[in-house]
């Protein structure tokens, strides 16, 4: 029995694909082992979203070869798609697999064993291709399943390499999605997170003049699956937030009001240079719409600091805007120059030391906003899907998240794992965790 070790880098979509490959290999008879163990095959699902991601991808590929020089090293994913020609010359890599061939991983390995040579499976996905169907029935997490329903992006933000690495938008069929969700529910998963590279564009490629398909159709499919109790959404574009969209979500008891809305900058001039398709006024309007329907919804975001041409004044506008929106959580990234993107050729590239200062400022602001948001749930009754046991300061607690994805810990029997429990929150610990008691104990 051949031993396979897999390692994932990057986003939730990558994580889903890595798990799907793992399951396919397991079903075919391969033995899955830890990446730190000696294996016959190492599969690294790479990322290329930043220069650091590129470097980590290269490091993991070379590390795999060093662990067992006789092993087959397989480079898969976004870094492969973006730098395929370069990787063909890398002697540490035996097989190269692009983003639309991951579902064929078993066939690819079997072909390699029949005829040992450097194999490359790299399609040109820039002009469009079919959705690469990958399926799962078991996932690493015990209660929450990430389900990929969309791939590719047509936005071409000036800083982003992903449209080149992932290709144009393509969506998973509703029937295929329903089948996977039903299997996950049968395996005991109660919470699903619908994810994609550009989730808001789901269905555009499936739609006809007579039959328009949108993300709401995919959400409805999940809502109808018996056994699924909580539905979350991956990152969304602000434009998808309409009154109609929100009212439909409000009518779903299973929907969790956590909206991750990509922002990137709180300055209109910077947004234009980024080729983002909204203004700060439009973005704020979407946030206000959300809070009218879901008063305590978690609105989270991503922000890039140090984008080319970002002046102190532009950065200050971003800082002020983030405070005004009062995000529940923010992910702060320093701009990373990506060759092949328009932003890489822009003038007025920002020095790294300035990026660090700006990043530190926004991280501090984010921590303050996060603390304030979590405290707003103190002394309230909330429902929690129990995920596992955890230890905090030597004490054992059950841990889960509210529908708004705020972490909650409380004392209880481990038999409650994967059950939805009513608790009453008492206080915050470590500024971002809610300490609670089960309702009957309160």
Q: Give the mean model confidence (pLDDT) for residues 138-159.
A: 84
Question: Percentages helix, strand, coil for the chain, rounded to the nearest 5?
Answer: 40, 25, 40
For the chain, how long is the longest CA-to-CA vector?
66
- This prediction has a pTM of 0.88
State in Å, rounded, how far the first CA of the chain is from the last one: 54
Ranking 137-151, 179-193, 256-270, 406-420 by mean pLDDT, the lowest is: 137-151
Ranking 175-179, 233-237, 385-389, 390-394 by mean pLDDT, the lowest is: 390-394
Q: Does residue 15 carry a pLDDT above 60?
A: yes
Domain ranges of the chain: 3-121, 144-375, 381-441
State residue 118's pLDDT score: 56
Q: Does residue 402 carry a pLDDT above 60?
A: yes
Q: Give the mean model confidence (pLDDT) for residues 318-343.
A: 96
Q: Does residue 191 carry a pLDDT above 60?
A: yes
The Cα 310–Cα 316 span in angstroms is 10
State residue 442's pLDDT score: 39
Strands 170-171 and 191-196: unpaired
Tell which wins on pLDDT, 166 or 138.
166
* CATH 1.10.10.10, domain 3-121, yes or no: no
Highest mean pLDDT among 164-178, 201-215, 290-304: 290-304
| pLDDT level of residue 339 (50, 70, 90 thresholds) | confident
State residue 236's pLDDT score: 97
Q: Give the mean model confidence (pLDDT) for residues 168-180.
A: 94
The Cα 282–Cα 150 span in angstroms is 25
Tokens 């309007």 map to which residue? 285
Share of the chain above pLDDT 90, in %: 78
CATH level 3 topology of 144-375:
pyruvate-formate lyase- activating enzyme (3.80.30)
How high is the mean pLDDT of the chain? 92
State residue 119's pLDDT score: 83
CA distances from 289 to 234, 255, 292, 300 (A): 19, 17, 5, 15
Instruction: Output the CATH code of domain 381-441.
Output: 2.40.50
State residue 134's pLDDT score: 63
359 secondary structure, DSSP code: H
Q: Give the mean model confidence (pLDDT) for residues 7-16.
A: 89
CA distances from 196 to 6, 161, 218, 332, 356 (A): 21, 16, 12, 20, 30
Tell which wins on pLDDT, 138 or 122.
122
State residue 434's pLDDT score: 96
State residue 51's pLDDT score: 85
One DSSP character per residue, 274-293 reads HT-S--HHHHHHHHHHHHHH
Q: Give the mean model confidence (pLDDT) for residues 118-131.
A: 67
Strands 420-429 and 381-392: antiparallel
Question: What tens digit of pLDDT does each residue of 24-76 get?
Answer: 999 999 999 999 999 999 999 999 988 889 999 999 999 999 999 999 999 99
| Distinct helix (H) and strand (E) counts, the chain | 13, 18
Tokens 């995919």 map to which residue? 218
Tokens 């990929």 map to which residue? 148
Ranking 98-107, 132-141, 289-298 by mean pLDDT, the lowest is: 132-141
**Residue 282 corresponds to which tokens in the numbers above?**
């439009």
Q: What values do phi and psi take at 66, rounded to 5? A: -70, -35
Q: Where are the alpha helices (DSSP H) in 129-242?
A: 162-166, 174-186, 215-224
Cα 338 to its chain centre, rounded Å, is 20
Tokens 């008691």 map to which residue? 437
The Cα 327–Cα 290 span in angstroms is 12
């Amino acid at each position: 029995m051949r031993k396979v070790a897999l390692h994932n880098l990057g986003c939730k979509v990558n994580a889903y694909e890595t798990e799907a490959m793992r399951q396919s290999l397991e079903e075919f008879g391969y033995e899955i082992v830890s990446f730190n163990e000696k294996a016959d095959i190492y599969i690294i699902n790479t990322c290329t979203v930043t220069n650091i991601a590129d470097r980590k991808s290269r490091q993991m590929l070379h590390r795999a070869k060093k662990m067992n020089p006789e092993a087959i090293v397989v480079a898969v994913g976004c870094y492969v798609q973006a730098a395929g020609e370069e990787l063909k010359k890398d002697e540490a890599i035996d097989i190269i697999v692009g983003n639309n061939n991951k579902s064929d991983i078993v066939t690819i390995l079997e072909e390699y064993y029949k005829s040992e040579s450097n194999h490359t499976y790299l399609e040109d996905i820039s002009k469009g291709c079919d959705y690469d169907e990958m399926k799962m029935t078991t996932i690493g997490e015990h209660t929450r399943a990430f389900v990929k329903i969309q791939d590719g992006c047509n936005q071409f933000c000036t800083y982003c390499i992903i449209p080149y690495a992932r290709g144009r938008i393509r969506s998973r069929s509703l029937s295929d999605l329903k089948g996977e969700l039903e299997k996950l529910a049968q395996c005991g998963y109660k919470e699903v997170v619908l994810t994609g590279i550009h989730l808001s564009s789901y269905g555009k490629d499936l739609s006809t003049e007579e039959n328009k398909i949108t993300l709401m159709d995919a959400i409805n499919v999940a809502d109808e699956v018996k056994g699924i109790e909580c539905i979350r959404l991956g990152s969304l574009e602000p434009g998808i937030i309409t009154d109609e969209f929100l009212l439909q979500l409000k009518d779903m008891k299973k929907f969790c009001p956590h909206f991750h809305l990509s922002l990137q900058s709180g300055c209109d001039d910077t947004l234009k240079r980024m080729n983002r398709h909204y203004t700060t006024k439009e973005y704020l309007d979407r946030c206000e719409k959300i809070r009218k329907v879901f008063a305590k919804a978690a609105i989270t975001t991503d922000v890039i600091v140090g984008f080319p041409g970002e002046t102190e004044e532009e950065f200050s506008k971003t800082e002020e805007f983030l405070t005004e929106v009062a995000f529940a959580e923010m992910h702060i990234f320093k701009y990373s120059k990506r060759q092949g993107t328009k932003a890489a050729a822009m003038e007025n590239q920002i020095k790294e030391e300035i990026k660090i200062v700006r990043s530190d400022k926004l991280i501090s602001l984010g921590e303050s906003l996060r603390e304030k948001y979590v405290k707003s749930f103190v002394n309230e009754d909330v429902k929690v899907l129990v995920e596992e046991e955890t230890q905090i300061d030597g004490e054992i607690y059950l841990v889960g998240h509210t529908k708004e994805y705020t972490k909650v810990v409380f004392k209880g029997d481990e038999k409650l794992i994967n059950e939805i429990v009513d608790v009453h929150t008492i206080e915050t610990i470590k500024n971002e965790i809610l300490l609670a008691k089960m309702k009957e104990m309160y």
